[in-house]
Amino acid sequence: MKILIADDEMIMLKIIELRLKKDGHEVIVTSNGQEALEQIKLQDPDMIIADIMMPFTSGLEIVSEVKQSGLHRKVPIIILSSMGQENVVLEAFNLGADDYITKPFSPNELSMRVKRLAPPTNHL
Amino acid sequence: MFTFLNFFSGGIEKIINYLGQHFFTQQTLFNTIIIVGFLIIILIGFIFIYLFRKKKLWRRKVFLQISLNNFIGEIAICESEDELNEVYSNPAHQKAMRQFQRREMDRNLLISELAETSKKFRGITMDNILWLFEKMNLEKQLVKNLGNKKWHKKAKAIQQLAYLQQKKSIKYIFSFTNHENDLLRMEAQIAIVKMIGFDGLKFLNTVTYPVSEWQQLRLIEELSSHHAADLRNMNQWFKSENLTVLNFTLRLVEIYRLYDFYDEVKDCLSHQSMTICKTAAVTISQISNETTADLLVAHYPDYDSFTQLKILEVLQVDGTKNQLPFLFSLLDHGDDSYKLEAAKAIVKISKSGMEKIEKMVDGTLFPWNIIVPQIKNVA
Amino acid sequence: MNITDFIFQFFSYGILIYSVSLLLFYVLIVICSIAEIKLYIRKSSFTDYNLLASSEYAPTVSILAPAYNEGANIIENVRSLLAVHYNNIELIVINDGSKDDSLQKLIEAYNLVKIPFLVNEKIKTKPIRGIYKSNNSLYHKLIVVDKINGGKADALNTGINVASNKYLVCIDVDCILEQDAMLKLIKPFLEETKKRVIATGGVIRIANSCEIVNGKLVKVHLPKQLLPRMQSLEYIRAFLLGRMAWSRMNGLLIISGAFGAFDREIAIKAGGYNAATVGEDMELIVRMRRYMHENKLPYKVSFIPDPLCWTEVPGSYKILGRQRNRWTRGTIETLQIHKKMFFNHRFGILGIISYPYWFFFELLAPLIEFSGFVFFIISLISGYIKWPFSILLPGFIVAFGFLYSIFAILIEVLTFNQYKRRSDIFKLILISFAEPIFFHPFVVWSAVRGNIDFLRKKKSWGEMTRQGFNSQKSINHLRA
């Protein structure tokens, strides 16, 4: 699968990238919301993993943009954020996010959730 | 009058002459301007040198971080001890690491990165980071930092020890939990709680400095990621002379619904300090039983208006028919807020409450012309 | 010596002594602030603001945002305020009888309905027409108060009456907040254990020419226009050096009206904002402090050197002039109302240092400078110039001014360093040299006019012009 990750922390990106690559996925790395949206349009990923607190555009806005656009509506989006309050989680799901993981988190758990959300027709 | 003016202006003239000849001569003014000019140039130079150095250091840091990230990243996702050793013994990584170990500044950067990373992950990843920390013998550096004379470096080391779960240092850190330096004291308290959760609250037995509301907030947040353990020491804290400790204890009882301490909380309702009374009123409402509402009403006259209004709010949830006479008596209180809160409570307790109120008051006059619709609106 | 000599020397040395004492005071201020800022930054690096801002146990705060004819922007502004990174807030927007359709826009955008709501009128204000809350649970933190026009102070007082929490945050509705601003502003209230913190304020930064996306500050730029650029330097001097030092001495007389927090109980007991003055933000702080002194209660007014809030400043001489004119009148009115404190030891530092300082060095400074300037012109025209003395004198003062500005820039670079580009710092340095020509005389002149207008009892806000972001702001008093 081609997975796009968006997070403004370098170490976070690195660890998630290495973990997903180990599972055999192709990974696109972006460090802010604007870059993420551009790359989504260009590279057409099969899944998106995004943080909320990022410069330029928040992860929630990415969810909103992607789920409302025609092309990428069906792409599963996992939100990965340190904000765990109920209202934020609810808003994420309201906007169409497919899963919500709070930091601190376990990369192995992320790997499982990615497998779970993979569109059935897509095999590596 | 004239002689006075003469005298006055003569005096000023003398002062001016003196100043003109000794302080404010042309030469001194000129010299001072030159000196100031020099200072300005030096400062400007300093600004740019500083900016230059800062950028250089930053660039280096970013460069180091990139290679560090690679290394830490690969370690982080290892799934077995063998894998860890394999990655670790990779010659490229070994070489990079030796470079890091050489300078103290770089070792501290490494420790800082490891500490920051361990904050963000759970599970095997976290364990791997700790494994790396120990394998690279960074503990020595951290302990050295702990002994640094500057308090903020000490505090940073304490914080990092906690992130890296170095439980061996707990005894040493504990000695700082009643230190006179605010930051050291607070970081030590947080560090211990971070590492061993509720057991770490032992410092409440001995702390004499006040635990600020801010610190209490931090402690509560820290505790929320640990399981509520058996709180043996709590009895002692109820008897503490440090009022902030008592306050914190009440909050713990409230948040974790510790019904066992009902009697102690009850005693706090008659405490000298109004702050304690108010906190106790809120706490007891969270662990209430059938007698609580009457208890609160009994203490009501002794309290200040904040606490009294708080009690009315509590009665809106826990009130029973017993309190109705008391509540009805408040309907003509001087302060309208009391009328509102009492009415809310009455309506909550009794089905016919609203009816009775409407019979008693003139619904066309202020404030009832707003209170009645307001209560009905929310219902 | 003859009479002309005497007058000349009297004036020259008088102004010189005044300036030197002012500058010495500035030096003292600088020394005080550096230590304080260093301490703050160290402490700050240990706090995880993210974690605490989302805590459900953090105290609830009532945000008061008065609005008048905000029209086009009100919806966005409210949206960005609701999105502030602090969980436990109650946002009270007070529509001060706007003549445009602000209220209607809000009602539509946020599904507002008029509800019956008892307001305990602890402070007397102009009547409230209605209180609105949202049907949509997403906006449950929002309360909109519609009232008859009464001015900013009156609107804020209404907000105080409506608010139900212990801490109030008064904010200009189009302020852009830093992510952790709310928590940082409230922190002093919770940290202090020996005294009661009655008010806190932070640093206001200039948003002109900064990139703002969706109500969030994305990139900082030094303002491109000349006047806002000049004001950047001015703000750095005033906030980083001046206020920090006053806060350390616990002599701070002012919190910016654009973004400040107050203890609700004390604000009410002190009587709320004074609607009869144009300097209501400063006057309230002085009155709250006075209240604490008169009741012998230990207290503190805290200042946070962190940049918390970004706002637009006037870009034209006309609007800048009105703003400074108003600030001057506000200062005079406040000092006049509280003249009892002048050198009155009953009021501690407030009476012995703060008040006299503001009187001599803030209020009188523009007047003395102006008369110095007039005097200089007169001596030029009448030919009575002691060459090169008459150049050296102002030269001396101006040189010190440069030094002070450069020093402020240095402190800015060493501490929070908002302007990261070297070219921006360079431009700031150039600005210090351009200031005495393009900016300072105008500000002095506006202050003089302020004095004149005060004596003529002009008590209006002037006209409020709004073009996107351009309007009169309530940040008060930047010197020192």
Closest partner residue to A15 (CB to CB) among B73, B113, B119 is: B73
Closest partner residue to C118 (CB to CB) among B32, B33, B367 is: B367
Could B77 and A19 be called an inter-chain contact, meaning their C-beta atoms sit closer than 8 Å?
Answer: yes
- Give the residue with greater pLDDT, C161 vs B17: C161
Rg (C-alpha) for chain B, rounded Å, is: 33
* Chain A touching partners, 3 or more CB pairs below 8 A: B, C
- Give the residue with greater pLDDT, A57 vs A4: A4
CA distance C356 to B106: 52
**Non-local CB neighbours of B101 within 8 Å, separated by 6+ positions:** B107, B136
Would an 8 Å CB–CB cutoff place B212 in contact with chain A?
A: no
Q: Which residues of A touch B (CB under 8 A)?
A: 9-12, 14-15, 17-19, 22, 103-109
B72: closest CA among C441, C42, A15?
A: A15
Rg (C-alpha) for chain C, rounded Å, is: 23
CA distance C89 to C140: 10
Task: Give the pLDDT confidence score for residue C379 in this predicted structure.
Answer: 77
Task: Give the pLDDT confidence score for residue B339 in this predicted structure.
Answer: 93
Smallest CA–CA distance, residue C142 to chain B, in Å, is 16
In sequence order, the β-bridge partners of residue C58 are none
CA distance C377 to C385: 10
Tokens of B35: 């000196």
pLDDT tier at C337, thresholds 50, 70, 90:
very high
What are the pLDDT digits (tens) for B254-283?
999 989 999 999 999 999 999 999 999 999
Q: How far is CA B320 from CA A43, B323, B333, B371, C448, in A?
A: 64, 6, 21, 21, 67
C97: closest CA among C143, C155, C153?
A: C155
- Give the residue with greater pLDDT, C305 vs C132: C132
SS3 B213: helix
Tokens of C136: 């949509």
Task: Give the pLDDT confidence score for residue C39 in this predicted structure.
Answer: 85
| Distance from the first to the final alpha carbon of chain C | 38
CA distance C174 to C73: 8
Taking contacts as CB-CB distances below 8 angstroms, the residues of chain B near A106 are 121-125
Query: Does the structure show a pLDDT above 60 at C473?
Result: no
The burial of B169, by beta-carbon neighbours within 10 Å (0-12 exposed, 13-18 middle, 19 or more buried), is given as buried
SS3 C252: coil
Give which of A57, A64, A89, A95 to mutate to test C binding, by max C Cβ within 10 Å.
Answer: A57
- Residue C159 near residue C94, CB atoms below 8 Å: yes
Could A11 and B74 be called an inter-chain contact, meaning their C-beta atoms sit closer than 8 Å?
Answer: no
Could B125 and A108 be called an inter-chain contact, meaning their C-beta atoms sit closer than 8 Å?
Answer: yes
Task: Give the pLDDT confidence score for residue C305 in this predicted structure.
Answer: 86
CA distance C290 to A42: 63
What does the DSSP assignment read for C33-46? HHHHHHHHHHHHTT
- Residue A46 near residue B104, CB atoms below 8 Å: no
Mean pLDDT of chain C: 85
Tokens of C285: 């702080």
Task: Give the pLDDT confidence score for residue C467 in this predicted structure.
Answer: 28
- Residue B214 near residue C197, CB atoms below 8 Å: no
Closest partner residue to C413 (CB to CB) among B47, B214, B373 is: B47
pLDDT tier at C391, thresholds 50, 70, 90:
confident
Task: Give the pLDDT confidence score for residue B62 in this predicted structure.
Answer: 87
Taking contacts as CB-CB distances below 8 angstroms, the residues of chain C near B43 are 403, 406-407, 410
CA distance A101 to A88: 12
Could C56 and A85 be called an inter-chain contact, meaning their C-beta atoms sit closer than 8 Å?
Answer: yes
B343: closest CA among B329, B160, B11, B133?
A: B329
CA distance C56 to B343: 28
Lowest model confidence (mean pLDDT) among B118-122, B133-137, C213-217, C364-368: C213-217
Tokens of A62: 């990415």
Task: Give the pLDDT confidence score for residue C480 in this predicted structure.
Answer: 29
Nearest chain C residue to B336, by CA: C120
B345: closest CA among B363, B371, B365, B318?
A: B318
- Residue C263 near residue C310, CB atoms below 8 Å: no
Query: Does the structure show a pLDDT above 50 at C123?
Result: yes
CA distance A98 to B138: 41
Taking contacts as CB-CB distances below 8 angstroms, the residues of chain C near B255 are 57
What are the pLDDT digits (tens) for C1-48?
567 777 777 777 777 778 778 877 877 877 777 878 888 888 888 888
Taking contacts as CB-CB distances below 8 angstroms, the residues of chain C near A93 are none
pLDDT tier at C218, thresholds 50, 70, 90:
confident
Task: Give the pLDDT confidence score for residue C55 in this predicted structure.
Answer: 82
pLDDT beneath 50: ranges in chain B: none
A2: closest CA among A34, A31, A28?
A: A28
Taking contacts as CB-CB distances below 8 angstroms, the residues of chain A near B126 are 104
Instruction: Name the strand (E) or helix (H) holding A49.
Output: strand A47-50
Tokens of C162: 């409506």
Closest partner residue to B212 (CB to CB) among C45, C191, C402 is: C191
Give ipTM to 2 decimals: 0.87
CA distance B13 to B16: 5
Give which of B25, B57, B221 to mutate to test C binding, by max C Cβ within 10 Å.
Answer: B221
Could C87 and A85 be called an inter-chain contact, meaning their C-beta atoms sit closer than 8 Å?
Answer: yes
Give which of C51, C180, C213, C217 to mutate to test A binding, by max A Cβ within 10 Å.
Answer: C213
- Residue C474 near residue C277, CB atoms below 8 Å: no
Interval C380-405 mean pLDDT: 77
Closest partner residue to B220 (CB to CB) among C9, C57, C429 is: C57
Task: Give the pLDDT confidence score for residue C461 in this predicted structure.
Answer: 45
* Chain B touching partners, 3 or more CB pairs below 8 A: A, C
**Non-local CB neighbours of B170 within 8 Å, separated by 6+ positions:** B192, B195, B196, B200
Interval C184-203 mean pLDDT: 93
Regarding pTM above 0.80, the answer is yes
- Give the residue with greater pLDDT, B5 vs C437: C437
Tokens of B309: 């209004």
Taking contacts as CB-CB distances below 8 angstroms, the residues of chain C near A62 are none
- Taken in order of first residue, the domains within chain A and their CATH numbers are 2-114 (3.40.50.2300)
- Residue B203 near residue B189, CB atoms below 8 Å: yes
CA distance C431 to C230: 6
- Give the residue with greater pLDDT, C416 vs A35: A35
C289: closest CA among C255, C241, C242?
A: C255
What are the pLDDT digits (tens) for C222-271?
999 999 999 999 998 888 888 888 888 888 888 888 899 999 999 999 99
Task: Give the pLDDT confidence score for residue C404 in this predicted structure.
Answer: 86
Task: Give the pLDDT confidence score for residue C478 in this predicted structure.
Answer: 40
Could C218 and A53 be called an inter-chain contact, meaning their C-beta atoms sit closer than 8 Å?
Answer: no
Other CB atoms within a 10 A radius of the CB of residue A102 amount to: 14
